[in-house]
Amino acid sequence: MSEIKGVQRGRLASFMPITSWLRHYHRSWLPTDALAGIALAGLLIPEGMAYAGMVGVPPQAGLYAALAGLFIYAVFGTSRQMSVAATSATAVMTYAAIASVNDSDPGRYASLVAALVIMAGLLFLLAGVIRLGFISDFMARPVIKGFVFGLALLIIVRQIPKLLGTPKVSGGFFQMAREVIGSLGQTNMTTLALGIIALLTLVIFSRYIPRVPGALAVLILGIGSVTALGLDNSGVALVGAVPGGLPRLSIPDVSPADLAAMFPAALGILLVAYAEGLGTARTFAARHRYDIASNQELKALGFANLASGLLGGIIVGGGLSGSAANESAGAKTELSTLVASAAVIATLLFLTPVFHNLPEAALGAIVIHAVRHMLDLKAMRRYASLRAEGPIVASAALLGVLIFDILPGLIIATGISLLLLLREVSRPRVAILGRRPGTNDWIDSGHHPKAVQTPGTMVCRIDGVMFFADADYVRKHILADVRTQPVRPQLVVLDLEMIPEIDITATITLGQLIDELRSDGVAVSLAEVRGPVRKMLKRDGITERLGADRMFYTIDEAVAAGP
C-alpha cells in the first residue's frame, strides 16, 4: 500500500512539482523568500506595464500576465529562482504578429492578443505532452544571440519616441530609425529630461544598489515628479487611468482566419520563449545544483500562458532580468514568486489609481534598460575567437530581423541553424591513426604528428555517424587519402568504433568503397564493428564479399593480420 502511495505521490510531483518542494520546505527560508518576492514584484509591476505598452494593449494587461505567470509557474515549474512574466522579446514578437493582421479596433486588438497568448499556451502544452523538450537545441547559440540582438535594436528604436516625446513610429527597423531622426525637431525637452533621468537612475541602481528594484524607483520618481511639478501641463505623455480590480476569465472572440494568420507567430513565440526560459532556468539550476525537467518546463509555460490569455494578459516567459533579481534578493524556492503574485494582486486591488500620473518616458526607459543585456557584443567577440563563422551566422540572423522583420527573421535564424547542423553532420572528420610512440595506443596523426605509422598500412577512423547525408563524402575522403599517399598502402583498416548504426545508403556506399579500394589493389579490413553495423553489412552481403576473416574486434588484430 505504501509503495502505491509512493508511486502516486511521485506522479503527482512530476505533474505538479509544488506538491514535492512544499512538503520539504524549511521555515527558515520564509523571510528571504518573502523579501525576494516583494523585491521581484517591485521590478515586474512597472516592467509588465511597460511591456504591455510595447504590445499595444492597456498597462493592466502586463499586470494580469505577471499574476498568471508568477502563480502558475510556481505550481508547475521546476526552477526555484526563475521568474515567469512578460518579457521584452515575446512582447515585441506579439506586437509584430498582431500588427500583421492589420486591425486598428482597440477592443478587437485586445481579443487578438489574448487569442495569440492562448494559442501559444496550447502549443507549449502540446509540445510538453509529446515530449519535445529538445526543440531548443535546434537553435545554434550564435544564431540565437544574433536574433536576440536584432530584437533588442528593434525594441530600442521603437521606445526612443517615448523618451523624446515624439510621435510613435511603425514599420521595419530602418523605416522606424528614419522616422525617429526625422522627428527630432519635435522633441519635448521636459519628456527628454525625464527619460534621461530615468535611464540614469536605472543604471545607478543596477550597478550600485542591485538588490533594490531600479524600475520601482523610476516609477515612484516619475509619478512624484509629474504630481509635484505638474509636468503634464508641459506636454509630458502619461499612462492615464489604469482599471483596478482582479481580471475575469474570458474566451476571446476571434475568427478561424485570424487564428490561422497568427499561427506561425505562435510557433515562433514558442521557440523563442522556450529557448529563453530554458536557458535561464538551466543557468540558475547549475548555479544552485539541481535539475530542470525540460518537458515539464514546456507544460508549465503552457499553463502560465493559457491562464494569462484567459485573464486578458500577454505572453509570459522566463525572463533573465527578473530571475536574476529574484536570485540576488535571496530566493530559495518558488515561494518567492507566490509572494510576488500576491503583491501583484494587492496592486490591482488598491494601487492602480497612483499610476495615472506615470510618464510614458519612464516606461520607455525601463524597457530600454531591461533589454540592454540583449546587446551582447562580448558574446560576439567570444564566438569570433572560437570559430570564424560564429559572428557571421550571428550577424546573418541579426540582419534578418532588421531587414525582414521579426517573424521572417526568426525563420531565417532557424534556417541558418538547420544549415549549420546539416553542414556539421554531413562533413565528419576522417582521421588517419598512428601509434603513440612507445605505446600500443592508436591516436589521430592529424593532431599528433609524431604518431608512428605502420608501414604499408593505413588506419582510418570515421569520427561521426555514417548515414545518407555524409556517406559519399566519407567514401571520397578515404579514397583521396589513399590515392594521394607517396607510397600506396597495401592494407586499409577502417575503424568503425564511432559508428553505432548505419542506414541503407551508408551500407551501400561502404560496400562501394571496399570494392573501389580492392580494385586499386588495396586490401581492406574492418575493426571495432558494432553489432547493428555488423548485422547490416551481413544482410547486404558485404561481409560475404569482404570475407568474415576481414572483420576484427580491435585495430591491433586487423593490423597484425596484414593484407
pLDDT at 163: 93
Higher pLDDT, 335 or 89: 335
Cell of 210: 542591485
Q: What HEC string does 428-494 produce?
A: CEEEEEEECCCCCCEEECCCCCCCECCCCEEEEEEECCECCCCHHHHHHHHHHHHHCCCCCCCEEEE
Q: How confident is the model at residue 3 (pLDDT cuts 50, 70, 90)?
A: low
User: What do you get for the CA distance between the two ends of the chain, in Å?
Assistant: 66
| Rounded Cα distance, 302 and 317, in Å | 10
Residue 349 has pLDDT above 60, yes or no: yes
Q: Between residues 446 and 408, which one has the greater pLDDT?
A: 446
523-527/457-463 β-pairing: unpaired
Q: What is the pTM of this model?
A: 0.75
- Residue 488 is classified by DSSP as -
Strands 491-495 and 457-463, how do they pair?
parallel
Q: What is the mean pLDDT of residues 533-561?
A: 90
Lowest-confidence pick of 65-69, 108-112, 341-345:
108-112
What was the pLDDT predicted at 5?
Answer: 53
**Percent of the chain clearing pLDDT 70 (strictly above):** 95
pLDDT tens across 267-292, in order?
888 887 887 788 788 878 888 888 88
Q: How confident is the model at residue 214 (pLDDT cuts 50, 70, 90)?
A: confident
Pairing relationship of beta strands 83-85 and 457-463 according to DSSP bridges: unpaired
Question: Residue 85, SS3?
Answer: strand
Q: Alpha carbon of 484 to those of 427, 476, 479, 488: distances in Å?
A: 20, 12, 8, 8
Range in 139-153, 325-339, 473-487 the model is least confident about: 139-153
Domain ranges of the chain: 13-351+367-420, 429-561
**Helical ranges in 59-188 per DSSP H:** 60-76, 88-101, 106-129, 141-164, 173-182
Q: Which amino acid is at 329?
A: A
pLDDT recorded at residue 493:
93
Is pLDDT at 115 greater than 90 in this prediction?
yes
Q: Out of 125-139, 229-243, 474-488, which region has the weakest mean confidence (pLDDT)?
A: 125-139
pLDDT at 312: 94
Joined grid coordinates for residue 137: 537545441
Percent of the chain scoring above 90 in pLDDT: 39
Which of the two residues, 372 and 337, has the higher pLDDT score?
Answer: 337
Q: Which residues pair with 461 in a beta bridge?
A: 431, 495
The one-character DSSP state at 466 is B
pLDDT tens digits for range 231-273: 888 889 998 888 889 999 999 989 898 899 899 888 888 887 8
Residue 6 has pLDDT above 70, yes or no: no
Q: Is 244 left (phi over 0), alpha (psi -120 to 50) or beta?
A: beta
Mean pLDDT over the full length of the chain: 87
Helix (H, G, I), strand (E, B) or coil at 82: coil
Q: What integer is the mean pLDDT of 319-339?
A: 85
* Pairing relationship of beta strands 429-435 and 442-444 according to DSSP bridges: antiparallel
Instruction: Look at residue 389 in the predicted model and tell me its pLDDT.
Output: 66
Mark residue 503 as left, alpha or beta (left: phi above 0; alpha: psi -120 to 50; beta: remaining).
beta
* Cα 349 to Cα 354: distance, rounded to the nearest angstrom: 12
Instruction: Round to whole Å and give the CA distance between 308 and 314.
Output: 6
Which amino acid type is present at position 342?
A: A
Grid cell 522583420 in the structure block, residue: 405
Q: Is pLDDT above 80 for 220?
A: yes
Q: Is the pLDDT of residue 62 over 90?
A: yes
The full DSSP string for 501-546 is: -B-HHHHHHHHHHHHHHHHTT-EEEEES--HHHHHHHHHTTHHHHH
Domain 429-561 fold: Transcription Regulator spoIIAA (3.30.750)
According to DSSP, the residues that pair with 502 across neighbouring strands are: 466
Instruction: Please state the separation of Cα 459 from the chain's center in Å.
Output: 41
Mean pLDDT to the nearest integer, 451-467: 88
pLDDT band at 117 (very low <50, low <70, confident <90, very high): very high
**Residue in this structure with the C-alpha cell 556539421, named with its chain if needed:** 424
Residue whose C-alpha cell reads 509555460 in the numeric block? 301
What pLDDT, on a 0 to 100 scale, did the predictor assign at position 10? Answer: 62
More confident site: 320 or 50: 50
What pLDDT sits at residue 317?
A: 92
Distance (Å, whole) CA 115 – CA 258:
9
Quote the crossing angle between the two packed helices 377-386 and 390-404, to the nearest 10°: 140
Residue 139: CA count within 13 A, CB half-sphere: 27
